Structure formats: structure tokens, C-alpha cells
A and B are shown apart, each in its own frame.
Chain A
Amino acid sequence: MELSKLDPRTKLAWYALMIYFSLSSGTAVQLGLVLVVGIMASFILTRSLKQYKVMIMILLLLGLQILIVQLIFCREGVLLYQWGILKIYSEALPLAITGILKASIIVFASMQFFTSASPQEFTLMLMKFKVPYRFAMLVGLGVRFLPLLKAEYVSIIDSQCTRGLKMETIRDKIKAIIPTFMPFLYRSVRRATETALAMELRGYGRSKARTFSSALAIKHYDIALISAMLLVIILSLASKILPLIYSII
């Protein structure tokens, strides 16, 4: 079974499960296990982890920040090392590791969800949740126009660079904001106006429903998977909440 064949609602339930575990698990071992299971699921279903290459770079940067913050500010555990005002406590590293793992699971699960569901699937899923199609279709529009906007912004930068605008240092780039952003804004407004008019004139929003070229049909295995995942979340929540209720009683 391929990942793309799963219903987007199943993917959403999986996403919710991963986020729930990342927030509820406390130890590095538990979190590591959740991350490995998530990565394995992706690998088994898509046979590739290429799409996460960029994510790893982002996570490394994020991880480094978490590590530095924990090393400087963590005051739990035993004092291991002191140099001037810098004090490193024994709990800094475990806390940094769990922090990095939690962040990794959230970023990974988000990537997994947003790269596996197509804009059309998003739209159809939102409509199943009773979102009007006029709003649900905006996801697809965003995906359609973002690359165009990017290409246009590059053309604007090219245009200004040939007039002598420098884009080498960060200072240059900050100074270049006005000469590049103003034409971009003007073009974007014009584009949006034309697109909206073209859509209206092709009957967009004339009635509450519309025909889509594909439909979401939830399959038995989707229902089984969603039920199982919801059950896990409910049981896990119950196991945490019930003892609290009993203790109060």
C-alpha cells in the first residue's frame, strides 16, 4: 500500500497521534522510539526519505540552539562545571535531548503530513469537515501561486540588480527591500485581482456545492487505522486522567 492511497483523514489522525506522543512522552527513550516508528512508517510507505533532507538541516540548527539554551540556563541536577558565570548542570544534556527529540517529532510529522497529502486532498478533506468549498480551495490556490510569486520576485531582483542594486551582504539585502518589495506588491495585487475575476467569471461560488474531479472515499483499512489511533490516544489519556480523578475522589 502506498502512502498516497491513504485517506487524508487517516494521515491527519497519524499526524495527531505523533504530535500527541511528542507532547505526552517524557523520556528520551520513549521519544526516540516514536521518532524511529514515524521515520520507519515513512520509509516503508514511500521507500525514500529524500524529502526530509532539508528538514534535517533545519533540525540540526534548531537542535544546536536548544542545546546551547539548556547548557546556559538549565539549573536542575548537580553542578558539573563552572567557568565565570557559566554553570553547567547535570540535567542540561538530558533536557536538551528530549527537547530536540520533541521538536524533531513535531517537525517530522508536519513534513510527513504536508508532503503526503495533495492540495486537492486537503480541499476535499476540509469539505468533509464542512468547510465551504470557496475557502477549502484556497489551499490549492496558494500552492499554485506561490511558485509564480517566487519567480516574479526573482525577476524583480534581477531587474533591480541590472540597475546597480547590490544583493551581496545582509545589509545590502535589507536596503534592497523597498526597491524589490514595492514592485512585487503592485504585481501581486494586480495578479490577485485578475485571478479572482477569472474565477468568478467561470462560475466560482455560484452555488454551495461543486463537482470535484476526485472524491474522498474512506476505505475499511482507513476506518480501522483511524479507530486504532484514536483508541490509543483515548486509552493513553484515560490512563493519565483516571488516576487523577480517583485520587480526588
Chain B
Amino acid sequence: MKTIVNVKIEKLVFPQEEKPALKNIDFEIKQGDFIVITGGVASGKSILLHTITGAIPHYHEAELTGQVTILGQDIKDMRLNRMSDYVGYMMQEPHNQIISLEVYEDVAFGLGNLEIPLHQIDQTVKRALEFVGLTGYESRQTASLSGGQAQRVVLAGVLALNAPLLILDQPTAELDPQGRYELYQRLGQLNITQKLTIVLVMDRIEEVLNYANRVFYMRDGEIGKECSPEDYYKEQIEHRLGRLNYNTSFNSTNDMSKDIIAEMTKVSYEYNNDLPGCEDINFNIYQGDFLAIIGLNGSGKSTLAKLLIGLLKPSKGEIKVFNQTLTTENLTKTRTQAGFLFQNPDYQIFASTVAEEVGFSLKLRGEQPEVIEQTIDECLHFVGLLDYKEMHPHRLSRGQRQLLALASILVSDPELIIADEPTSGLDETQGYMIMDKLFELSQQGKTILLITHDLNMAKDYSNRLVALHNHRIQLDILTRDLDQHLDTLKAMGLNFYNLMSFNRETPTSTSNTPYSATLGVESPTEAPMFNFSSTSSLKEVNDGTF
């Protein structure tokens, strides 16, 4: 197999930093490889991807000792806007990478930059959208796309450029299980039938291992080890199983209390554009519950949480929190008793020290400085950040910033903690770190409402599961009775059956139309997915090198 990329990095150092961000890296990427890169916090995964794409050193300044070549060319000598001939790069947040107002325009963006004639752009865009399952979305406004759809639009835009190497940085961070499954299935197809070389950063054990052929584990800026997906899976699952037994044993003893903390009666909410948020919601939250609300993206989970904390007012129905109907007058009091942990901690971090950030709520309430100081210390100690008290919050890792956000709601000693996707964007270790803290709070008698599409975490930590589908509650069960409802949940796209499966099925056996058929090519391995024979730059790559 032909070598696509050759990476030899002795060290890579960012300005004003002594410690190298990457070091002693030496590997080759062959055509048709499907490499998964994984590793802990700040291990250098994304930096390595940036280095392969040329974003470092062309876009982010850094001193690179060593050489990275793509198809024999040193990336140092290549202009960033010429890299699209060689590499397609998809980053984490899809909405940041969508440039145009309409789906068609966005997929055509890169092709337009290559000065490809309009009729060819038209054909390519249609094929790319067909491949990602978005035919008919051409004139849709990009602002109205869900996270999963936006992800597919970005993928279509990147694939349309027909680069031989596709790089993805945590592409499923914002996707629900179904969206994740579909994305990996598509990538597997591309890899097998088109021999598209793929490098992907994965933050937790995912189905992508079914399609990969190599796994790199990064640690402290180095590739700690390279192994097969099977070996990596076995090793990780053993580690996770130990954790599961530990937690479920606690969980089964967590019975429901009869004291109601919050109740929603016939609650509906409609957004301004007539889109439904929640419909006819009836449910109670009991004292001491560790309640997990699950559902696909857009099923109404976050709307429900915002209604509970009074950020949205219901169009119909009544919400009572701590035996009081939510009104503008009692909102401030309710919010001292209920804390809300948002998905993204960066939405609230503004202070220049960790301590100042945590003490914000107390300062707003006019507490005495001594009380503030003591509470800050207690809360920081609880989340394990006491040593970072005087540090700038943005110097902490993403997982630590989420713990900081948790500490800053704990200072109010809330009875009820609502956590909206608190582990999104975190790797597995950091995710469990947050969940363990929430569980500890639950053991102390706090009531926890967890909103998640991570079915593993929902199953492992909660005592009660509420499943939302199409903005309505479809199921409200005790977690210990989960086995009796697996089929119902699967029908909603919440498949608990295969949470731990690892079977290396070939993507061609899946029900989706293989794109060889979509493209009308007889031998997919011989024909490129999108053919721009009239484009000189691409012709050079396609004809000269492949």
C-alpha cells in the first residue's frame, strides 16, 4: 500500500512554553488505513491532527523539529489553502465549520474555491448530499439544522473535495447514539469501498472500532502504544466492567422516596417559530432521585430542564418546584435551591481565578466574605480543585472546567441538581469523573436530574429512567426494570442492547445504499468518489499520485 502521510516529529513546542506538546512521534499512514487516535486529557491528540493538516505551523504558531509529509511533500512548504487537495479535516463543533446560509452553498463552498465549473459543482454537491443522506436538503437554511444534520453537511462539504485523506476530531461529541452509529457506518463504507484513508480522534469506546484497523493511544504528547482495535477494546472493556459492577451495586439500593421535589402537570412548550419543545409532560421528581432523562437529539430533553428551572415559561400546564408554582417572583429563591449544570462550562466562566468564579453566586447574594471563603474551599475540595484555587479557569482542562462549574453551583447547597449533558465533549475518564461526583452528591441525599444521550451513563448511575421521544414522555421506569423495556426503547432509537458490542461487521453488509451504487461505478475501488478530471490541481493529485 502506498504511503499517504509520513510523520516524524522529534518535538513540537508552542511559543512561550517549555514542555513540548508533541514528542518522539514516528509513524506512517498507508492508503486505506483507518486509524483511531485515543488518549487522556491534553495528551496531544488534536495537536497531532492539526500538525498533519498543516494547521500547525501555518495557522497556529509552533516550532516543529522534524518533518510531516503528505504524498511526499513537506507540509511546511505547502500553503494551507492548498491542503484541500490532500486532506479533508472535520473538527468537533459542526456549526463553526458551516460557512454558508444554505446547505447547497455550504457543500459547494470548497468546490467553488477550486474554481470548478458550475455544472460539475452541481453534480458533486448532489452526490455528496445523497451519500450523507441529505438529499432534498439543498435549500435548507444551515441555521435550522440539528447537530447531527450539521455534522453531515460538513462531512459532505469535506468529501466533495475528494481528498485522499480524511481527518476527524471527535466527530460524534454532539451526536446521539443513532447519529453516531450512522456516521461511523458511512465512514466505514468510505474506507472499504473507496480506500479512503481515515484518521479519527475518539474520546470513548465507540462503534468506530468495528471499522478501524489501527489504534494509537497517546500519552503526554507521545504515542504511548499502537495496538489492534480488538486488543484495545478488550483492555478498555475490562476496565469499564470493573467500574460498572462498582456502581450498579450502589444503584440498586437507591429506592424512590415519596416526597415530591418537583412536578410537571400537562406541561407543553412551543418555541417562537411554532416548533414544539415539549408536549403534554406529566411527571414528578422525588426526593433523592437520580433521574436520567434520555432521548435523541431534539426530543425535548433540554427544553424540559429549562422549563424546570424557569428559563422557559410553559405555554400550557403547571410546574411546581419545592411545592411552589414557578413564578417570576419566586424564581430567585427556587434557583438557590436548584442548581443547573450546563453542557458547556465555558458559557459561565468569566472570572480571573477559580475561587472568584466559584464564589460568584454567593457574592451576588451578599454573603459575608468569611462564609464565602469557607464555602469556596469546601466546594473546591469536594470536586478536587482546591490546589488550583488561584489559577485562571481557562488554564484548566475541559473536564476540570466542568468540575469547576459543578463547584460553582454547589456553593448554594442546592437540593436539586439538573445536569444537562454534563459529560458531552469530555473523554471517558473525565466523563466518569463528573458522574462519580454527581453520584456522590446523590448518596449525600441530593436529588439529581441528569439529561443525557449517553445510555451507558444513564443505565449505570440512575435509579429511574425517563425516555422522551418526539417531545413527549414515552417511558418512565425504574432503572432496575430496564430489561423489560429494551424493545420499546430500541424503537425510539435508544438501543441499550449493543452498548458493549464489538463485532467487526463489514460495512458493505449494512442496509444503506453503498455509494458505489449511488455513483454508478462498477468497481468502487478503482474510481474516485467524485471525479473532477478538469481540475488541474486535483488532476495532478489523482493522476500523478494515485
Given contacts A199-B99, A202-B109, 7 further A-B contacts (CB under 8 A): A144-B101, A163-B409, A186-B349, A197-B55, A201-B84, A203-B81, A206-B114
The verdict on A159 contacting B342 (CB below 8 Å), with A194-B91, A202-B84 known, is: yes
Determine how close the nearest CB of chain A comes to the CB of B400; give it in whole angstroms. Answer: 16
User: Which B residues, 330 to 354, have Cβ-Cβ distances below 8 Å to chain A?
Assistant: 332, 335-336, 339-340, 342, 344, 346-350
Docked CA distance A164–B411 (Å): 12
User: Which A residues, 165 to 191, have Cβ-Cβ distances below 8 Å to chain B?
Assistant: 165-166, 178-183, 186-187, 191
A26 sits at the interface (CB 8 A) = no
User: Which A residues, 188 to 239, have Cβ-Cβ distances below 8 Å to chain B?
Assistant: 191, 194-207, 209-213
The verdict on A186 contacting B83 (CB below 8 Å), with A144-B143, A202-B161 known, is: no
A99 sits at the interface (CB 8 A) = no
Docked CA distance A212–B142 (Å): 18
B514 sits at the interface (CB 8 A) = no
Rank and list the top 5 A-B pairs by shortest CB-CB distance, nearest first. Answer: A203-B113, A202-B110, A182-B350, A162-B340, A198-B97
Docked CA distance A155–B344 (Å): 10
> Which chain B positions have C-beta within 8 A of A119?
101
The verdict on A179 contacting B81 (CB below 8 Å), with A140-B101, A201-B89 known, is: no
The verdict on A186 contacting B394 (CB below 8 Å), with A148-B143, A155-B347, A211-B117 known, is: yes
Give residues in A with beta carbon < 8 Å to B: 119-120, 140-141, 143-144, 147-148, 152, 155-156, 158-166, 178-183, 186-187, 191, 194-207, 209-213
- Whether B96 and A206, one on each chain, are in contact in the complex, defined by CB atoms closer than 8 angstroms, is no
Docked CA distance A158–B59 (Å): 34
Determine how close the nearest CB of chain A comes to the CB of B359; give it in whole angstroms. Answer: 11
> Which chain B positions have C-beta within 8 A of A204?
81, 109, 113
Docked CA distance A155–B360 (Å): 18
Determine how close the nearest CB of chain B comes to the CB of A43; give it in whole angstroms. Answer: 26
> Which chain B positions have C-beta within 8 A of A191?
93, 96
- Max chain A Cβ within 10 angstroms of own Cβ: one of B111, B117, B350: B350
> Which chain B positions have C-beta within 8 A of A165?
364
B258 sits at the interface (CB 8 A) = no
State which of B104, B112, B339 has its C-beta within 8 Å of the C-beta of A211.
Answer: B112
Determine how close the nearest CB of chain B comes to the CB of A81; give it in whole angstroms. Answer: 45
State which of A147, A156, A211 has its C-beta within 8 Å of the C-beta of B143.
Answer: A147
B105 sits at the interface (CB 8 A) = yes
Determine how close the nearest CB of chain A comes to the CB of B78; give it in whole angstroms. Answer: 11
> Which chain A positions have C-beta within 8 A of B116?
211
Chain B: CB-nearest residue to A146: B143
29 A-B pairs with CB atoms under 8 Å apart are: A140-B101, A148-B95, A162-B311, A162-B339, A163-B348, A163-B360, A163-B361, A163-B409, A164-B332, A164-B335, A164-B364, A178-B350, A179-B360, A180-B350, A186-B349, A186-B394, A194-B96, A195-B97, A197-B55, A198-B97, A202-B157, A203-B81, A203-B84, A204-B109, A205-B81, A210-B112, A210-B113, A211-B114, A213-B105
- Whether B360 and A158, one on each chain, are in contact in the complex, defined by CB atoms closer than 8 angstroms, is no
- Whether A203 and B348, one on each chain, are in contact in the complex, defined by CB atoms closer than 8 angstroms, is no
Interface SS majority for chain B: helix
Interface SS majority for chain A: helix
- Whether B109 and A159, one on each chain, are in contact in the complex, defined by CB atoms closer than 8 angstroms, is no
- Whether B348 and A160, one on each chain, are in contact in the complex, defined by CB atoms closer than 8 angstroms, is yes
Determine how close the nearest CB of chain B comes to the CB of A168; give it in whole angstroms. Answer: 9
Docked CA distance A207–B536 (Å): 13
> Which chain A positions have C-beta within 8 A of B161?
202-203
- Whether A143 and B99, one on each chain, are in contact in the complex, defined by CB atoms closer than 8 angstroms, is no
- Max chain B Cβ within 10 angstroms of own Cβ: one of A155, A187, A191: A155
> Which chain B positions have C-beta within 8 A of A141?
99
Docked CA distance A179–B109 (Å): 37
> Which chain A positions have C-beta within 8 A of B360?
163, 179
Determine how close the nearest CB of chain B comes to the CB of A230; give it in whole angstroms. Answer: 32
Docked CA distance A201–B365 (Å): 48
- Whether A162 and B114, one on each chain, are in contact in the complex, defined by CB atoms closer than 8 angstroms, is no
State which of B80, B108, B110, B365 has its C-beta within 8 Å of the C-beta of A213.
Answer: B108
State which of A160, A163, A205, A210 has its C-beta within 8 Å of the C-beta of B115.
Answer: A210
User: Which B residues, 53 to 97, have Cβ-Cβ distances below 8 Å to chain A?
Assistant: 53, 55, 59, 79-84, 87-89, 91, 93, 95-97
- Whether A203 and B114, one on each chain, are in contact in the complex, defined by CB atoms closer than 8 angstroms, is yes
- Whether B348 and A183, one on each chain, are in contact in the complex, defined by CB atoms closer than 8 angstroms, is yes
- Whether B93 and A120, one on each chain, are in contact in the complex, defined by CB atoms closer than 8 angstroms, is no
Docked CA distance A28–B360 (Å): 57
The verdict on A200 contacting B349 (CB below 8 Å), with A141-B99, A162-B311, A194-B93 known, is: no
Determine how close the nearest CB of chain B comes to the CB of A173; give it in whole angstroms. Answer: 14
> Which chain A positions have C-beta within 8 A of B311?
158, 161-162
